[in-house]
């Protein structure tokens, strides 16, 4: 099958990093990022997310493997690669006493771009920082400070943008706002790689998702494919009268009794909506068979559950 494969903007092969103390943060990472996509890298603390980003951005010296960005090796062509890559690290780190606009101009200059006040204004406006441009950064709120970090990274118009936990410690409203920003960037053609703890975030904005644990990529796939493959629906019927066994009429469903027969629990489906349909039919069947229930709590498994399940599976395999 030959399909037109999207252009690979970043190609990581066999990337390894062992820190001086002997801690292996990356144990042979292979990862290909397609031009123009939003890629979410999920993983628990210490999985190697930040080390992976650091290796691409020049903060970490990898101990093995290769990184190819925009078609050339980033070691031999580091200036060109870095000029086109932007990084928003996890920690808020800048000169707190400086003014917002000056810090953004500074970043643009450092990346070798000619001064462009129109571009600076555009970046600041898009992040709702324009009104704050002459404030010292230390006077801004936490969310605003994070936007300054993003503004700095966008000031040199990167083609590839890394966001390390972009919405950590940011309130819900601001997080939604940030997602819009990220979406807007993608529309302009920027390829985005973000790491996150919030699965909701990956679910909401990513095109593809990668799961990393213990320095290895466990899987990468389209978000929808992962959901379809691993997604489950769980529905809990609270029964009016406890049952001792499952009636034959509903035995064909993947159901179990829990809580001493007070709860009938459905676990099934595949993330494509099959589970929801099953639950609706099951509810009707219960009614038809005179089985009364006083409550129903149904939900689709999120990437978070998939992710936790995946990690558990791997741990069992390893054990």
Partner 1 sequence: MNIRGAIAILKNELQRFFRTAFGSILSPVLTTSLYIVVFGAAIGGRMDPSLFGGATYGAFLVPGLIMLTLLSESTSNASFGIYMPKFTGAIYELLSAPVGVAETIIGFVGAAAMKSLIIAGIILLTARVFVDYSIAHPLLAIGYIVLVAAAFALFGFILGLWADGFEKLQIVPMLILMPLTFLGGTFYSIEMLAEPWRTVAQFNPIFYLINGLRWTFTGSSDVPIGIAFGFTLAFLALCVAIIAWIFRTGWRLRE
Site string for partner 1, 81-100 (x = CB under 8 A): -xx-x-x-x-x-xxxxxx--
Instruction: Count helices and strands (H / E) in the chain.
Output: 10, 14
Residue 81 DSSP label:
H
Plot region of 93 (φ>0 → left; ψ -120 to 50 → alpha; else → beta): beta
SS3 label, residue 137: helix
The piece of 104-112, 198-206, 213-221, 252-260 that touches partner 1 (CB under 8 A) is 104-112
Closest CA to 48 of 18, 71, 20: 18
- Using the minimum distance from each CB to partner 1, give the nearer residue, 38 or 57: 57
Draw the binding track, 122-161, toward partner 1 (x: CB under 8 A; -: no contact): ------------------------------x---------
| Cβ pair 212, 47 in contact under 8 A | yes
Binding to partner 1 by residue 111, rule CB under 8 A?
yes
> Residues near 140 by Cβ (< 8 Å), separated by ≥ 6?
100, 132, 148
Residues 6+ apart with CB under 8 A from 73: 66, 67
Among the residue ranges 36-44, 54-62, 244-252, 253-261, the one whose residues contact partner 1 (CB under 8 A):
54-62
Q: By CB under 8 A, which span of 53-61, 242-250, 286-294, 308-316 interacts with partner 1?
A: 53-61
Q: What CA–CA distance (Å, rounded) separates 169 from 176?
A: 13
Instruction: List the x/- string, 239-268, binding to partner 1 by CB under 8 A.
Output: ------------------------------
Site for partner 1 contains 75 (CB under 8 A):
no
Contact residues for partner 1, defined by CB under 8 A: 19, 54, 57-61, 78-80, 82-83, 85, 87, 89, 91, 93-98, 102, 105-114, 152
């Amino acid at each position: 099958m030959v399909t037109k494969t999207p252009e690979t903007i970043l190609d990581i092969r066999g990337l390894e990093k062992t820190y001086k103390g002997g801690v292996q943060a990356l144990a042979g990472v292979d990862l290909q990022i397609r031009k123009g996509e939003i890629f979410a890298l999920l993983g628990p603390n210490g999985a190697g997310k930040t080390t992976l980003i650091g290796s691409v951005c020049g903060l970490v010296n990898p101990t093995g493997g290769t990184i190819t960005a925009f078609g050339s090796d980033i070691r031999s062509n580091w200036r060109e690669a870095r000029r086109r890559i932007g990084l928003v690290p996890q920690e808020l780190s800048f000169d707190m006493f400086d003014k917002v606009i000056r810090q953004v101009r500074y970043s643009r200059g450092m990346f070798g771009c000619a001064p462009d006040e129109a571009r600076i204004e555009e970046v600041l406006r898009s992040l709702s920082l324009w009104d704050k441009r002459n404030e010292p950064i230390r006077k801004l709120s936490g969310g605003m400070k994070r936007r300054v970090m993003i503004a700095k990274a966008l000031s040199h118009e990167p083609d590839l943008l890394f966001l390390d936990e972009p919405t950590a410690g940011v309130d819900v409203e601001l997080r939604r706002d940030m997602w819009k920003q990220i979406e807007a960037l993608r529309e302009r053609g920027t390829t985005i790689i973000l790491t996150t703890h919030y699965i909701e975030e990956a679910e909401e904005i990513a095109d593809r998702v990668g799961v990393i644990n213990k320095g290895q990529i466990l899987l990468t796939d389209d978000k929808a494919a992962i959901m379809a493959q691993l997604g489950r629906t769980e529905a809990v019927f609270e029964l009016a009268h406890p049952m001792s066994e499952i009636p034959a009429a509903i035995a064909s469903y993947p159901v179990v009794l829990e809580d001493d027969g007070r709860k009938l629990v459905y676990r099934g489906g595949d993330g494509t909506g099959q589970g929801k349909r099953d639950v609706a039919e099951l509810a009707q069947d219960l009614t038809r068979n005179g089985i009364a229930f006083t409550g129903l709590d149904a939900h689709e498994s999120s990437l978070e559950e998939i992710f936790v399940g995946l990690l558990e599976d791997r741990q069992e395999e390893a054990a």
